[in-house]
Chain A
């Protein structure tokens, strides 16, 4: 845990003299867990640094006994990525919020990067990182970790930036009034205020990340073929050897990993973050986690955390002791505002020039080998994929919205189903692909149609659990009024519940659609041993170009897909979002 609980600090501070320093039984349980985790991490980290030759000498095998080790390696990649994303978020998000010049660059960049297909990146990052660490597994590892990072970091940084921009005015004034140093302000005001949003985004990113960690372990770029030890590689091998039993074993292993992640990480973190919610009143239904409860009951652990926190906070006294108390005069004096404006424009011009130059470089690179016909081909493929995404999201909505509403309005059902929906959203759907592929191949179905559902296989759950959340939060008085006036059937849906859950639905559908674009790269081409299935679309276009090591087409494909996603977001999702924000807020 990065930001330990405030209550830890409290207990350690108020009752310092009352409690003894002796560990209690909860300490023993938690320390056993931590020690075991450390041993495993050290072992796996050692393996990561081994030369590539080792990998060729001892390749991934289908022996189920190896699966726990593979699962561990997969999980570790995941955590390396999430920690880098968190660090990136704190630095870049804070930078964007505090410096106008940085904001001008970072925010549009994050906006675009969010739309770039993650798996498209892989082609370049593998080449780049392998070149950085020639002959070592570390290069391939870093490429995989970077792929997961790119699937997580952007929206986390965005969330953090937005929180910093909306810090409540009175708390900001209190901080300035008491002259908190920037360091203390960051940890006392900004990070706590941003925590609920950031934690939720991180957990969502992490759920999405399992998909990419599986997809990025077995990579083929032209002649470079790497299979990092992990569940993804195990699965790839199982597909190659048509071993349905091994696929089943991979599914079970993945399910166990996600279950552990859900119980040990997701739930405790969400429960812990609840205390940072900026609300005047205590909420009725608070997230619960048994692991979090145990950690809260530890004694020694809490004291260590308190000591660490105090060390962090005393860091702010370092500059204070050097040049006295933090002065905190007003930022920019008004006289220089014209100067500031001028320098902003200058900066903007520089940024635009660099952007134009980069764009031109990309265009020049693609044009060296490809012509207008290729652009037409890629755009056509993009249109097909767009139609798939639209149809699939619509279908998933028609199925899951009524079910989600039904569940959400019944607290006992919501309580049981919501964790399952979150679990399913985190479960990497690509592990399940082989079952579908076997079916399609066996019955000779049209891959153009039947491969498509794979794109929403993993992402449809976002719609479900957001709708459940929306329906659960629907005010009781409105429900009662609706039943008093006997609103029924279509009128009830149209005037009562659909407007009520709409903001939640848009959030879910937006996430699902973004995930589906990404999934298209692994869903539109599938294989089972020698059987190759392919659906025409931008995903398969990029996937084929990657396998052939055709960088020009990969660049073109990524560019076209980013363009489609940005356009789709601007024309559809963002409008729905604004509409929901303006018209349908229930507070």
Chain B
């Protein structure tokens, strides 16, 4: 196991080369200065949290959308649309519900103009390879999730792709099914039964990346940048409880929680400052639940994120926003893959309902600028009411419409729990009065 510096080498066996890629969307920088190489014979993971732009990056490489700046080339050829020799597996499977398994698999060949007998032969071979025998005439809605993704795989492999792109391919499946599919795919890969020469997997699941890949690129969020490259030399089949495996997973956790040195210090990890801070929607139940778990043994106020995630049966994507919201509210601190409750956090965990709400309200006003501002304006107004749109317009000066919407929802949820102010969905107004 070695950790390399961030220098994309120009090598002769490079299949995909991405250079200095930039992508803007709706006022925000989604991807910033991304450079990477996909080499012949490797499985590469793009690891990052939801919203870090990794799926966008995959779509740009696939030629499904143009980037704002930078260059992508496949085999030395500039990408300007879906190219030959590339196939993609979708998170949602993207199967056509009105086509049978066989017809779904044949689709790509049909688009290439392959004659129908040849088409059938190759599709049946792919179906056979992927273990879908007997399901040829079934419709996708008759299949389980795992079987559906097998169809997605067969549909991708049948066009003999040099490069296989996978967009969170197993995240819509249950744990057991996902594991089986991963192992089956690795078997095909190891035994050289796939026509594919390289695989690029986008995922937010650290264990999945370590389990499957030869190399992992860690992407940061807001904006998406490559912040680390990890080479995984463990022999296959890899064992999840092997200490080396665990150490690697821990190391990646640290990298993903580490604040970037390059970004200026600011209030936590959420993009934007002051009322322009983009907040994720986190359930207040999850916030108090996490504080309780942390306060109780075996953690006693401090935990390593990986074992914590394991105990709570959560993935990084579920755990991080909660932990970061706690950090913003100063109920906890995140440091190098650890989470530690603050004094306030401990008090919260031990308090009763009313005391909790009072404490929570205090912290929300102190540390969530938007909530503080709404509260202040409501206090100033004689009618103690204000329209939601007024704040939404203001937010949209700082962020995109969808983000403004999400941030307002997040603040409303915090304020409702804290009983800071009320929001009436019907009329779209904030008010100080609570129904009695």
9 A-B contacts (beta carbon < 8 Å):
A170-B93, A174-B88, A174-B96, A174-B107, A180-B111, A184-B111, A188-B96, A327-B81, A334-B66
Interface centre among B59, B91, B111, B113 (most CB of A within 10 A): B111
Whether a CB of chain B sits under 8 angstroms from the CB of A376 is no
A174 and B137 in contact, given A10-B100, A320-B113, A325-B113 (Cβ under 8 angstroms): no
B90 touches A170 (CB 8 A): yes
Give Cα A188 to B62, complex, Å. Answer: 21
B59 touches A328 (CB 8 A): no
Q: How many interface contacts (CB-CB < 8 Å) are there between A and B? A: 97
Task: Write the nearest CB–CB distance from B225 to chain A, whole angstroms.
Answer: 23
A329 touches B108 (CB 8 A): no
Q: Which residue in A282, A325, A327 is a CB contact (below 8 Å) of B142?
A: A282
Residues of A within 8 A of B (CB): 6, 9-11, 13-14, 168, 170-171, 173-174, 176-181, 184, 188-189, 192, 195, 275-282, 310, 313, 317, 320-321, 325-330, 334
> Which B95-152 residues have a C-beta within 8 angstroms of A?
96-100, 102-103, 107-108, 110-113, 116, 120, 136-137, 139-142
Q: Which residue in B65, B81, B94, B99 is a CB contact (below 8 Å) of A6?
A: B99
| Closest residue on chain A to residue B86 by CB atoms | A177
Contacting residues, chain A, for B66 (C-beta < 8 A): 330, 334
Contacting residues, chain B, for A192 (C-beta < 8 A): 96, 98
Interface pairs A-B: 7 shortest CB-CB: A170-B94, A329-B81, A178-B108, A174-B94, A192-B98, A180-B111, A170-B92
Q: Which residue in B91, B99, B111, B120 is a CB contact (below 8 Å) of A179?
A: B111
Give Cα A310 to B81, complex, Å. Answer: 28
Task: Write the nearest CB–CB distance from A342 to chain B, whole angstroms.
Answer: 22
Contacting residues, chain A, for B107 (C-beta < 8 A): 174, 178, 180, 188
Give Cα A275 to B140, complex, Å. Answer: 11
Give Cα A281 to B142, complex, Å. Answer: 7
Whether a CB of chain A sits under 8 angstroms from the CB of B289 is no
| Closest residue on chain A to residue B68 by CB atoms | A334
Whether a CB of chain A sits under 8 angstroms from the CB of B51 is no
A179 touches B82 (CB 8 A): yes
Give Cα A189 to B107, complex, Å. Answer: 11
Contacting residues, chain A, for B142 (C-beta < 8 A): 282
Contacting residues, chain B, for A195 (C-beta < 8 A): 98
B136 touches A14 (CB 8 A): yes
Q: Which residue in B102, B108, B159 is a CB contact (below 8 Å) of A14?
A: B102
> Which B332-388 residues have a C-beta within 8 angstroms of A?
none
B82 touches A177 (CB 8 A): yes
Whether a CB of chain A sits under 8 angstroms from the CB of B40 is no
A330 and B159 in contact, given A10-B102, A176-B82, A275-B139 (Cβ under 8 angstroms): no
B82 touches A325 (CB 8 A): no
Whether a CB of chain A sits under 8 angstroms from the CB of B188 is no
A282 touches B120 (CB 8 A): no
A173 touches B94 (CB 8 A): yes
A281 touches B141 (CB 8 A): yes
Give Cα A489 to B142, complex, Å. Answer: 42
Contacting residues, chain B, for A177 (C-beta < 8 A): 62, 64, 82, 87-88
Task: Write the nearest CB–CB distance from A285 to chain B, whole angstroms.
Answer: 15
> Which B48-79 residues have a C-beta within 8 angstroms of A?
59, 62, 64-66
Contacting residues, chain A, for B91 (C-beta < 8 A): 170
Whether a CB of chain A sits under 8 angstroms from the CB of B80 is yes
We find that the number of chain B residues with CB closer than 8 angstroms to chain A is: 37
Task: Write the nearest CB–CB distance from A253 to chain B, whole angstroms.
Answer: 38
Give Cα A192 to B98, complex, Å. Answer: 7
Give Cα A9 to B110, complex, Å. Answer: 15
| Closest residue on chain A to residue B92 by CB atoms | A170
A178 and B111 in contact, given A278-B97, A281-B141, A282-B141 (Cβ under 8 angstroms): yes
Known pairs A168-B94, A280-B141, A330-B65; list 8 more (Cβ under 8 Å). Answer: A6-B99, A14-B102, A170-B93, A173-B59, A177-B82, A188-B96, A276-B98, A279-B141
B92 touches A6 (CB 8 A): no
A279 and B94 in contact, given A9-B103, A180-B111 (Cβ under 8 angstroms): no
Give Cα A198 to B172, complex, Å. Answer: 31
Give Cα A282 to B142, complex, Å. Answer: 7
A328 touches B100 (CB 8 A): no
Interface centre among A280, A320, A326 (most CB of B within 10 A): A280
B94 touches A10 (CB 8 A): no
| Closest residue on chain A to residue B141 by CB atoms | A282
B90 touches A317 (CB 8 A): no
Give Cα A70 to B120, complex, Å. Answer: 50
B111 touches A329 (CB 8 A): no
Contacting residues, chain A, for B108 (C-beta < 8 A): 178
Give Cα A13 to B100, complex, Å. Answer: 11
B111 touches A10 (CB 8 A): no
Give Cα A327 to B63, complex, Å. Answer: 12
Task: Write the nearest CB–CB distance from B87 to chain A, whole angstroms.
Answer: 8
Give Cα A282 to B99, complex, Å. Answer: 14
Task: Write the nearest CB–CB distance from A42 to chain B, whole angstroms.
Answer: 34
Task: Write the nearest CB–CB distance from B337 to chain A, whole angstroms.
Answer: 34
Contacting residues, chain A, for B90 (C-beta < 8 A): 170, 173-174
Interface centre among A174, A189, A310 (most CB of B within 10 A): A174
Task: Write the nearest CB–CB distance from B144 to chain A, whole angstroms.
Answer: 11
| Closest residue on chain B to residue A180 by CB atoms | B111
> Which B11-46 residues have a C-beta within 8 angstroms of A?
none
| Closest residue on chain B to residue A320 by CB atoms | B113
Contacting residues, chain A, for B112 (C-beta < 8 A): 179, 325
Contacting residues, chain B, for A276 (C-beta < 8 A): 97-98
Task: Write the nearest CB–CB distance from B45 to chain A, whole angstroms.
Answer: 21
Give Cα A326 to B108, complex, Å. Answer: 12
A330 and B102 in contact, given A184-B110, A281-B141 (Cβ under 8 angstroms): no
Give Cα A330 to B83, complex, Å. Answer: 12
Task: Write the nearest CB–CB distance from B264 to chain A, whole angstroms.
Answer: 31
| Closest residue on chain A to residue B152 by CB atoms | A174
Contacting residues, chain B, for A334 (C-beta < 8 A): 66
A171 touches B111 (CB 8 A): no
A6 touches B113 (CB 8 A): no
Contacting residues, chain A, for B136 (C-beta < 8 A): 14
Give Cα A11 to B112, complex, Å. Answer: 23
Give Cα A317 to B96, complex, Å. Answer: 21
A6 and B64 in contact, given A178-B159, A330-B80 (Cβ under 8 angstroms): no
A330 touches B98 (CB 8 A): no
A188 touches B94 (CB 8 A): no
Task: Write the nearest CB–CB distance from A56 to chain B, whole angstroms.
Answer: 52
Q: Which residue in A11, A171, A281 is a CB contact (below 8 Å) of B94?
A: A171
B82 touches A317 (CB 8 A): no
Contacting residues, chain A, for B80 (C-beta < 8 A): 329-330
Contacting residues, chain B, for A275 (C-beta < 8 A): 97-98, 139
Contacting residues, chain B, for A13 (C-beta < 8 A): 102-103, 120
Give Cα A83 to B296, complex, Å. Answer: 71
| Closest residue on chain A to residue B165 by CB atoms | A177
Give Cα A184 to B103, complex, Å. Answer: 13
B99 touches A188 (CB 8 A): yes
